[in-house]
Amino acid sequence: MTSKKWNQHGCVDSLLLLALILGGALFALHVLWFLRFVSRSTGTGGARRGRWYRW
pLDDT of residue 29: 95
Q: Which residues contact 49 (CB under 8 A, 6 or more apart)?
A: 38, 42
| Count of structural domains, the chain | 1
Determine the Cα angle at 43 with ends 37 and 49, to 5°.
75
pLDDT in tens, 9-49: 677 788 899 999 999 999 999 999 998 887 777 665 445 55
Write out the residue range of the structural domain in which residue 33 sits.
Answer: 2-54
